[in-house]
């Protein structure tokens, strides 16, 4: 009887496996999100640097180019 009390029941083992699976899934999800942030952040940063989004000097240059193109 004492030996049985020292071992886990099958329900306890199933619960422990369930917790391990949930913890693994949470860890995988956090890793996926972190990986996406690591990959996409530099891509957007490089794109913003190369194309200078929101740079007001680009607007005046575009107006001047349009004026020259019209003749």
Q: Where are the domains of the chain?
A: 2-70
Cα of 17 vs its chain's centroid, Å: 27
CA-CA distance, 69 to 13, in Å (whole number)?
76
pLDDT in tens, 25-44: 889 999 999 999 999 999 98
pLDDT in tens, 18-27: 667 888 888 9
Q: State residue 17's pLDDT score.
A: 66
Which residue from 63, 65, 62 is spatially nearest to 51, judged by alpha carbons?
A: 62
Letter string b/e over residues 19-32, b meaning 16 or more CB atoms within 10 A of that residue's CB:
eeeeeeeeeeeeee
3-class DSSP assignment, residue 17: helix
């Amino acid at each position: 009887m004492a030996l049985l009390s020292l071992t886990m029941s099958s329900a306890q083992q199933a619960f422990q496996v369930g917790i391990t699976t949930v913890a693994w899934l949470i860890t995988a999800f956090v890793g996926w999100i972190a990986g996406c942030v690591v990959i996409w952040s530099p891509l957007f940063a490089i794109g913003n640097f190369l194309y200078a989004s929101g740079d007001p000097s680009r607007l005046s240059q575009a107006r001047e180019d349009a004026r020259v193109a019209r003749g």
